[in-house]
Structure 1
């Protein structure tokens, strides 16, 4: 019987090694997803076994195609399918072992032996499907060596799969790539060790293509191998995409948890701040009531001293009395503002059309007792109508005009200018103080730095903010921004400002 010397096609050998590495990468990727798939164990195990078994079988089949002997060759279809089933069985055993919650050294060794024998069975069933008009004899030593290599490769695959499963996600990719190369080399070594143990003899049988039930077309065999490679690549790609989606979902869930935690903490802090603010407000009102009576008594005593001493008092005593009167009045203003804090804080705004001209004239009348004999020159433009709450706006303008008069200092005849401009749906009202004749006083006091601003102007600022506006302060100047009344199209008459001289 003639002995046939086999050879191997290098590009197919390289392709079989690549397929082995892909199969190893798929194995380790499936191992990493084992924990996440326990809720659907049978579906995960069956689908993964089909994918991985197809990859292992594809490596073996392409390795068989790499074999070259000087006679036509073909493959028996039933036996070839049986070898594929053996590959699926091997993949099922491997994934079942990896899927177990706890795997000790004994379970690892037993699984490696069973997996190695299954891979060996797949290989020799595929060799048995070979038809070439002769027969194959095996070297017992080579067969035993191939079985040992298969068991060793299977045990290494199971160990790497378990190692990847317990590795942190950030380190898994490195283990997969390194493990895929190791497994690819181990699987290819087992296959070609088994091929080296085979001896081909020609015994004069018919041509391979004339035998029934065989795949005699080399193109068809290569097409099957191409489909196997494509499916394995798609499986690996699907595994990678699934991991990315799972990682994204996990990160999204973590972000939602963190956002929920942040919202909960913000709500708790907000509630605590509101509680503290309510307590502080109650304390301020209580203090204002406690200070009201002593302030009234101090004002009465000061008035009695002024009447008792009269104009005959020493100029220095008169100056002291004037300073005392000023401080008592300032204290009375602070007490009144403290009492009004609850109204500023909680009063709901009732929006309606408000005439600023009428409102400012009312505020001027309210402020007459604070002038203390000074002759104020009011210079006012025709003021427009705005949208807001009449009572709240009256309180805000009272605070602004009172602060402006206070900032004017001790000028005998201060000049207070009030005018308005319309800018993109809002009205900007400006209030400025100066000396007679329109000149600024030599020492204009910044309103933002004067005593009581944190109560008076701050309350006015809150009212304007409640109306959707704002309050801006500069040395000697205050700007109030309010929404314009949309029903009024033209509000400013042509002509010069109206000058109100004191009587």
Structure 2
């Protein structure tokens, strides 16, 4: 028989919490990528890696916080530990690929499309791998058209996020981009969940899965702690909260450092006195 699916078991609590984590991961990731643009080559890989892990952890945490609110009334739901951890690894790795590509190659059209497609498909793979980790007394089906739409949303969201990472420098603009990114990632998740149907088996089968609260809540602690620590790094780095004009004056303009101005005046003064 068809199972009765409820994706909002705790009302708006889980969607809001999931959205906040997606925004937090996106905001930290974008600011870390911006930081990589103002450091020498020696520091760039570290900042890019920190940004990739922040975004990856934010997306993964968003997914499984949202899944805490998912239930099928006719059966318990458990999660396979190995597949759940693997989905986190996939999220970080695929985001890292996109971040490093645009971090070193820029946001040109072809590069951005390639990096965004790889990252978006990887994010969708993380989602469906996390769904494959579910264990229940039944089988899960998907509507192909809705699945395709969710993948398309993931690709568009990833491409936009990577573009923002290397294009938007100001703190306020990065914050706005992270809010939009949170909407896109959460939208991808709930679009994908709209594709789900569950056929419940007639008899209860035995399985070795953990309940959502016994597995997901402890596993979420690690990524959340990481995001908090990454946030501390951002808060105590003044260059990460300054606008673009404060630390990155456009090349070829007259906006030189203040220290340069007295030297030019002195040089001008000497030329007048010599005349």
Q: Is structure 2 residue 227 aligned with structure 1 residue 232? A: yes
Q: Partner of 2:185: helix, strand, or coil?
A: helix
Q: Is the 8 A contact 2:48 2:99 kept in 1?
A: yes
The structural deviation recorded for 1:126 is: 0.2
Within 1, Cα distance between the matches of 2:68 and 2:179?
22
**Residue of structure 2 aligned with 1:162, choices 162, 166, 180:** 166
Q: Is the 8 A contact 1:83 1:122 kept in 2?
A: yes
Q: Is the 8 A contact 2:105 2:111 kept in 1?
A: no
Within 1, Cα distance between the matches of 2:174 and 2:48?
20
Within 2, Cα distance between the matches of 1:128 and 1:141?
19
Partner of 1:186: 184
1:349-368 matches, cutoff 5 A: none
Q: Is the 8 A contact 1:134 1:205 kept in 2?
A: no
Partner of 1:88: 92
Would the alpha carbon gap of residues 138 and 217 (structure 1) be closer, same or farther in structure 2, given more than 3 Å must change?
closer
Would the alpha carbon gap of residues 123 and 246 (structure 1) be closer, same or farther in structure 2, given more than 3 Å must change?
closer
Q: TM-score, normalised by structure 1?
A: 0.46
Within 2, Cα distance between the matches of 1:187 and 1:58?
11
Would the alpha carbon gap of residues 245 and 185 (structure 1) be closer, same or farther in structure 2, given more than 3 Å must change?
closer
Q: Partner of 2:188: helix, strand, or coil?
A: helix
Within 2, Cα distance between the matches of 1:244 and 1:226?
29
**Residue of structure 1 aligned with 2:106, choices 90, 102, 105:** 102
Larger radius of gyration: 1
The structural deviation recorded for 1:216 is: 2.7
The structural deviation recorded for 1:108 is: 1.1
Q: Partner of 2:43: helix, strand, or coil?
A: helix
Partner of 1:222: 217
The structural deviation recorded for 1:162 is: 2.1
Q: Partner of 1:53: helix, strand, or coil?
A: helix
Within 1, Cα distance between the matches of 2:103 and 2:15?
32
Q: Partner of 1:33: helix, strand, or coil?
A: helix
Q: Partner of 2:236: helix, strand, or coil?
A: helix
**Residue of structure 2 aligned with 1:135, choices 136, 139, 159:** 139
Greater share of strand residues, 1 or 2? 1
Q: Partner of 1:100: helix, strand, or coil?
A: helix
**Residue of structure 1 aligned with 2:55, choices 49, 52, 55:** 52
Would the alpha carbon gap of residues 33 and 244 (structure 1) be closer, same or farther in structure 2, given more than 3 Å must change?
closer
Within 2, Cα distance between the matches of 1:185 and 1:43?
27
Q: Partner of 2:107: helix, strand, or coil?
A: coil
Would the alpha carbon gap of residues 218 and 246 (structure 1) be closer, same or farther in structure 2, given more than 3 Å must change?
closer
In the alignment of these two chains, the number of paired residues is 253
1:142-161 matches, cutoff 5 A: 142-161=146-165
Structure 1: gaps (5+ residues)? 270-503
Q: Is the 8 A contact 2:34 2:240 kept in 1?
A: no
1:7-406 matches, cutoff 5 A: 7-8=7-8, 9=10, 10-37=12-39, 38-70=41-73, 71-164=75-168, 167=169, 172-204=170-202, 206=204, 211-212=207-208, 214-216=209-211, 218-244=213-239, 258=259
The structural deviation recorded for 1:146 is: 0.4
Within 1, Cα distance between the matches of 2:177 and 2:127?
22
Within 1, Cα distance between the matches of 2:128 and 2:258?
55
Q: TM-score, normalised by structure 2?
A: 0.81
1:471-482 matches, cutoff 5 A: none
Q: Is structure 2 residue 26 aligned with structure 1 residue 4? A: no
Q: Partner of 2:229: helix, strand, or coil?
A: helix
The structural deviation recorded for 1:215 is: 2.9
Would the alpha carbon gap of residues 119 and 77 (structure 1) be closer, same or farther in structure 2, given more than 3 Å must change?
same
The structural deviation recorded for 1:132 is: 1.5
Within 2, Cα distance between the matches of 1:245 and 1:135?
47
Within 2, Cα distance between the matches of 1:101 and 1:29?
18
Q: Is the 8 A contact 2:28 2:51 kept in 1?
A: no
Q: Is the 8 A contact 1:90 1:119 kept in 2?
A: yes
Structure 2: gaps (5+ residues)? 248-256, 271-275
Write out per-residue CA displacement over residues 348-384 of structure 1, whole angstroms, 9 at most, x where no aligned residue: xxxxxxxxxxxxxxxxxxxxxxxxxxxxxxxxxxxxx
The structural deviation recorded for 1:206 is: 4.4
Write out per-residue CA displacement over residues 409-428 of structure 1, whole angstroms, 9 at most, x where no aligned residue: xxxxxxxxxxxxxxxxxxxx
Partner of 2:250: none
